[in-house]
Structure 1
């Protein structure tokens, strides 16, 4: 029986610790761990795109695959930065935002949605004109965004504990799902109604039925700082990044059982799952990307630790283009930048 249909709290069945960490690798090192299969993709820096004048923390990233653009929520700079990947340059900066935390591009209607932490609103811009087209106003702290292309609904994590449901066609709020605390990263099933939501303040992952618009189960965590999350829907595995201690937890989404835990770098803020290479990428503010290989549904091993820069904890993997993007904030006179990674296969 799937755990999502049982409305109760699950105890954690702690899986055995990963036997050992493998040899670490930096981005300028050609050696690989001896037991990594030769067909496994290795990330390498293919391009660095400067963001001159962008100060402070950089939050999340969205992609425009057809237009070959990136949209970067520069929270500390109160701007949305637009990068052209063909030319490798920033082509525009939208100012006047208030702590932009996340950004979503909806190609069906050529709109960009940007959440603002300080104002509690989601700002809407035309993706071609880049002109302001309006706001969707929530009570406070509009944060993570996820778009459901099937229903045309945009889910907005906000306030002290809610997911707002917005119809992107009308720009109107049509529902609200109450949670136990402020939601951080959350993931939507594409072949089911569930949403998995990180709630760090409550040390839990809430399981939401988006048809019923209610919480149907809870995964309690002993760890804290569970901010990022990724989902392998095909193998029913949920990846949860925790900061204290620095750990990635793996849960079976059918049973609600913890099946693995892996030590990762400190200050993790984004996790991505790569279904082609069956790898997970964790970007950590400590200054590393951990590459974790999924050998089986319940078995994982760290195959590389890529040196980046302190504070570079925001990232995005794009399965369609097979590119990985890392936001590096400005530091010690160095300009902020976006590092674009592709894959080297030996």
Structure 2
């Protein structure tokens, strides 16, 4: 065989090696876009989703629009817009409860509202700047981040609230003006929370709100989101500068690995059953990661979404993943993207 033929065969084989996996990856993606709902007239950012199973609704806090957006959980159809908010951020909906609790970082503050029509029942006496939250169903406690630089304060807080009455059950103050998302699970007493200004992760006892440890997150800055896998003793901390998932040992705080992540991410969703981590980013793609090897996190897919699609919600039981496309300051169309998860 001549050298020119050999080179041709080698080049053809090499190109096939490069092209086939990409084609194969597209055909076998773990998510499939099934609905795209336009929301004309929206500017700014969306924040967090919540699910109302009793009424088959999907709720979304439109923080810069000052509204609560209500969708049909099955079809993703937009049902209504509820106004009267400042900057709503997170929504607590509980099965069987007649009220929902919505945080708001503007003067309107956090409120308890009727779960059917969203009329205000009462104010919740949180500190200014109520933002991200997470619910502990066993103790019936909602943990809410308050304070911080967005409301002109040099410190931020984590407050524990009874969501039935709005009673404040406890509070811890952080010497940090920017505190972001937290993670915990039912059968572990610890709560992990991002101290973003000082580039640390704090470990708290949920019952006492006592700080047990603070761990640096050295590979990247702007640590904002975190997912916790207790079975594998791993924390997946999503940072924004640069975009990166930092894998940490949940017992020691040791960094055991990193992987690139999309820029301008504002959410991380984790499915422990499938060992998949989902990180949507505002630059227009979602990273999907395989966590089956706790020492070697692997990005398995970069799913093209839309610029601004940086918040989302995974519902494993329904095989659904929702993304909110925030137009920001652009003239792009706000959207809700619904994916079937395979």
Q: TM-score range by the shorter chain?
A: 0.7 to 0.9
Q: Which residue of 1 aligns with 2:188?
A: 192
The answer to whether the 8 Å contact 2:54/2:96 transfers is no
The SS at the match of 2:44 is coil
Aligned CA-pair RMSD: 2.2
For residues 207 and 298 of structure 1, do their structure 2 counterparts lie closer, same or farther at Cα, with a shift above 3 Å needed?
A: same
For residues 120 and 298 of structure 1, do their structure 2 counterparts lie closer, same or farther at Cα, with a shift above 3 Å needed?
A: farther
Q: Which residue of 1 aligns with 2:56?
A: 68
Deviation at 1:202, TM superposition (A): 1.3
1:161-208 deviation digits (Å, cap 9, x = unpaired): 211111122221121122232321001221021110011111100001
User: Which of 236, 242, 250 is matched with 1:253 structurally?
Assistant: 250
User: Which of 334, 337, 342 is matched with 1:336 structurally?
Assistant: 334
Structure showing greater relative contact order (alpha-carbon pairs closer than 8 Å, 6 or more residues apart): 1
Deviation at 1:56, TM superposition (A): 1.4
Is 2:292 aligned against 1:306? Answer: no
Structure index of larger Rg = 2
Deviation at 1:276, TM superposition (A): 2.7
1:182-235 deviation digits (Å, cap 9, x = unpaired): 321001221021110011111100001012221110111222111111121222
Write the distance in 2 (CA, Å) between the matches of 1:119 and 1:146: 22
User: Which of 210, 220, 232 is matched with 1:214 structurally?
Assistant: 210
Write the distance in 2 (CA, Å) between the matches of 1:310 and 1:106: 32
Consecutive unaligned residues in structure 2, runs of 5 or more: 1-17, 148-154
For residues 116 and 305 of structure 1, do their structure 2 counterparts lie closer, same or farther at Cα, with a shift above 3 Å needed?
A: same
For residues 110 and 299 of structure 1, do their structure 2 counterparts lie closer, same or farther at Cα, with a shift above 3 Å needed?
A: farther
User: Which of 106, 115, 118 is matched with 2:103 structurally?
Assistant: 115
Write the distance in 1 (CA, Å) between the matches of 2:311 and 2:193: 19
Is 2:310 aligned against 1:319? Answer: no
The answer to whether the 8 Å contact 1:120/1:137 transfers is no
The SS at the match of 1:98 is coil
Q: Which residue of 1 aligns with 2:159?
A: 164
Write the distance in 2 (CA, Å) between the matches of 1:108 and 1:171: 17
Write the distance in 2 (CA, Å) between the matches of 1:172 and 1:90: 33
Deviation at 1:121, TM superposition (A): 2.1
Write the distance in 1 (CA, Å) between the matches of 2:319 and 2:228: 17
Write the distance in 1 (CA, Å) between the matches of 2:77 and 2:128: 33
Once the two structures are superposed, the pairs formed by residues 265-280 of structure 1 within 5 Å of their partners are 265-280=262-277
The answer to whether the 8 Å contact 1:311/1:328 transfers is yes
Q: Which residue of 1 aligns with 2:6?
A: none
Write the distance in 2 (CA, Å) between the matches of 1:65 and 1:255: 38
